[in-house]
Amino acid sequence: MKKDWTNFSSECKLGRIMRTSQTIQEQLSSPEVEAIVREWLQENKGKSRLALARHLCEKLDLRDRRGKARLGGVQKALRVLEARGHWRLPAQKRSASSKYEARRVGHGISPPSDAPGRVEEVKGLRLVEVDSVDEEHFRIWNELMLTEHPLKDCRLVGRQLRYLIGSEHGWLGGIGFGSCALRLQPRDAWIGWDEATRKRFQERVINMSRFLIRPSVRCENLASRVLSICMDRLGEDFSRRYGFEPWLVESFVDQTRYAGTCYRAANWQWIGTTQGRGRSGPKRPVTTCKDIYVYELTRDWRRRMGVSEEGEAVEVIGLEETVRNERWVEEEFGGVDFGHKVAEQRLVRIARSKAENPSATYPECCGGDRHQLKAYYRFICSGREQISLQGILEGHRKRTIGRMKGCKRALVIQDSTELDFSDRLHCNGLGDIGKNQTGAVSNGLKMHSSLVVNEQGVPLGVLDTQVYAPHYDGSQKSKSRPIEQKESYRWLRTVENASQIHPLIPETELICVSDRESDIFELLDYRRRKTRSVHLLVRAKYNRSLEDHPERLFDHLGNLPVMGEARIQVPRQRETKSKPSKPGRIALPARTAYVELRWTKVTLSPPSTPWAKDLPPVDLYALLVSEPNPPEGAKGLHWVLLTTVGIHSRRQALRCLRWYTLRWRIEEWHRVLKSGCNIESHQHHSAERLARAIAIDTVIAWWVMLLTLLGREAPEMPCEMIFSPWECALLEMVQPLVAPETMTEQKKGAYA
């Protein structure tokens, strides 16, 4: 009895909607479809494979997003299933001229004339989309790739998109996109998808398999500018051609030829290294290992795929659970993945020893045990890429996100500090961090961190830390350099990092808080364009121009009437000696400052720098906090706070003011790192090893700071909540014999 084709076709349409994760091969290998193929082969002897593919596409409704029949995919699936013994297809007819031959111009492409040395001077820089029916441009693109690209190959795989890099000087290069790698372990682990999710969403990842800037072109920043222009239009062009929008772009950079600088300057992320096995993944390497870079075309692609950043759902971790946990070292350091179990266990042992005596050197922490000391130096000096600063902090970062999830709001406070290692004469990789009191240049590292606190100021953890060696020269001071190539890009990176974790904790409002150094227009513009899910609270440094008012920002706020008053507890001010580049200050006691509040909504005009002058203005809320009558000898408070959080009442203004006062928490954390953990006393001989040791100290400093603040803010908290019974007994034994009535309230809380 023959099958009812009409009903079966309807069933297949419904099945195609319900089983979107099934591949064509899986659909054709089902018993129902296999019976259909065998029946067609019996009734249509002598017909070609293409006819069978057309028949299956029509009956099974196998079409792409543009409505075209998926003939190529069906023919490939038929060949694969034939090799597995499912059926025997008609013989494939091959012509004598079936060998692939690229369409070429037939002669070399003329080099660009008078190509400038800087991208700002390039006239008419543009991308020209190449279509297969555009014979002239198609041949030019092929010729460039075959003659000037290192791979000497112009073929692309799967869904393809090509661009020529044009200008008034001539053709500067070309770009080509195709289907992504079928399997790529670093990429798949970074995405966090399983096999079913990979099959369903792999078409959303495309590969930039060809990127050529012609060897005759020597133009600074041209590659990064072209990448930025291409990423801005890639999604729309791909969607118009293939009917759906890609979410991620991957690319591979040959380590032996290039450093990948232009990718990092254009906001691409390095996620790992290939094993040299090619696109389909043979067992043996067939090519050189390459760096893998990824660009996110859509910020919420993880939510759309249904995967989290860590590849698993984020669980809420309460603060009480953190404090009561006797195994907090194992919890904060145990969630790492070094690809080596011994190294992971070694990190926990090192952190446990260091946490018992944070200010001591590690030989003192391990009691001089030679085996533990040898294991410590093996870990710090390891050549594994996974044992990096970010890798060591991976477990603590996950726990921090879990603690953030339990909060209505979380403040991501970012700031930088300098680490002076001038006396490490044999340490490699240090940079210039400024001048000391004598005017001599100090060598060391800079540390830019993101400390997360809740609205009560309790630290939840360290979200991210970057330790780097700064190098200053005349070119870095040029205002024409893009923000991606400046050290100040670290402020944008923190906001981007916060936006990446927001889909994991959508119920938590994230506010990035920073001081005057972060007052750069690119940060405000970056948040508006790409990360509206994260708010900003920045103290203004520059008296910027306003788009809708003749006065400048500070003058406009100063002329507003007083809208509210507040009190601020100003901590004591330590005395600092003057430097050639920075004046000193006198010591002042702690005091209460009575301030006036003024606020309004403003529209800031972009600065006149080459990279910002064409940007649109930014709408923000501005809050002026001024102290009219400071005490004698003290400088009055005068803060201008810029925020994306709406300020329409005194209550909202006080809330923003309270958030900014909590910025001092990261200064206290820096002090714990330097005085409590003595991170500037490490004696390692390279900046990389110093960064690994500092990574362990960052978590320990957070824990010390958390316990200190809890002791101050909640002195009635029982001792057993934090310390073990024998530690509590020891504290009672060493408690000073002082009458309670003679003790201050603060000391009573300290000994409670």
Q: What is the pTM of this model?
A: 0.61
Residue 501: how many CA atoms within 13 Å on its side-chain side? 26
- Across the 752 residues of the chain, what is the mean pLDDT of every consecutive 10-residue run? 40 38 79 89 87 89 81 87 87 62 85 90 93 86 92 87 94 94 85 83 93 92 92 92 91 84 86 71 62 88 73 70 81 86 92 92 88 92 88 93 92 95 89 74 91 94 92 58 80 88 87 94 85 90 91 94 92 74 74 94 88 82 94 88 95 95 94 94 93 95 90 66 67 57 42 36
d(CA 8, CA 183): 34
Return the structure tokens found at 650: 């005194």
What residue has token string 């006036």? 596
pLDDT for 714 equals 62
Question: Exposed/middle/buried for 609, CB within 10 Å: 0-12, 13-18, 19+?
Answer: middle
pLDDT for 308 equals 60
pLDDT for 718 equals 66
pLDDT for 539 equals 96
Residue 112 carries which DSSP code? P
Return the structure tokens found at 675: 């005085």
d(CA 315, CA 31): 42
CA-based nearest residue to 500, from 303, 325, 263:
303
What residue has token string 């902090």? 393
CA-based nearest residue to 655, from 665, 647, 663:
647
Residue 135: how many CA atoms within 13 Å on its side-chain side? 1
d(CA 623, CA 554): 10
Position 301: which residue type?
A: W
- To 10 degrees, the CA torsion angle through 139, 140, 144, 146? 10
Helix axes 49-60, 31-43, angle to 10 degrees: 140
pLDDT for 15 equals 39
DSSP-assigned beta bridge partners for residue 253: 291
Which is it for strands 534-539 and 509-514: parallel, antiparallel or unpaired?
parallel
**What are the CA-CA distances from residue 41 to residues 75, 87, 93 (Å)?**
14, 9, 17
**What are the CA-CA distances from residue 687 to residues 153, 298, 381, 453, 716 (Å)?**
41, 35, 11, 29, 43
Return the structure tokens found at 175: 């770009």
Return the structure tokens found at 228: 């930025």
Return the structure tokens found at 361: 């050197």
Position 396: which residue type?
A: H
Helix/strand/coil for 204: helix
d(CA 602, CA 89): 71
What residue has token string 């040395």? 117
pLDDT for 209 equals 92
Neighbouring C-beta atoms of residue 237, cutoff 10 Å: 15
d(CA 299, CA 80): 37
Helix axes 49-60, 5-18, angle to 10 degrees: 80
Position 358: which residue type?
A: P
Neighbouring C-beta atoms of residue 133, cutoff 10 Å: 7
